[in-house]
Amino acid sequence: MANQTERTIVDIKGVSQPLGAYNHAMSARPGKLLFIAGQVSINEQGETVGPGDLAVQTHQVYHNLEQILSSAGATFADVVKFSTFIKKGENLENYMSARREISPRIYPNNEFPPNTLLVIERLVKEDFLIEVEATAVLP
- Per-residue pLDDT of 80-133, as tens digits, reads 999 999 998 888 899 999 999 999 999 999 899 999 999 999 999 999 999 999
pLDDT, tens only, 29-58: 777 888 899 999 999 999 999 999 999 999
Residue 55: inside a domain: yes
Closest CA to 103 of 87, 124, 128, 84: 84
Residue 128: inside a domain: yes
Residue 131: inside a domain: yes
Q: Does the predicted TM-score (pTM) go above 0.75?
A: yes
CATH code for the domain in which residue 77 is found: 3.30.1330.40
Q: Which domain covers residue 80, as residue numbers?
A: 33-137
Residue 4: inside a domain: no
Residue 28: inside a domain: no
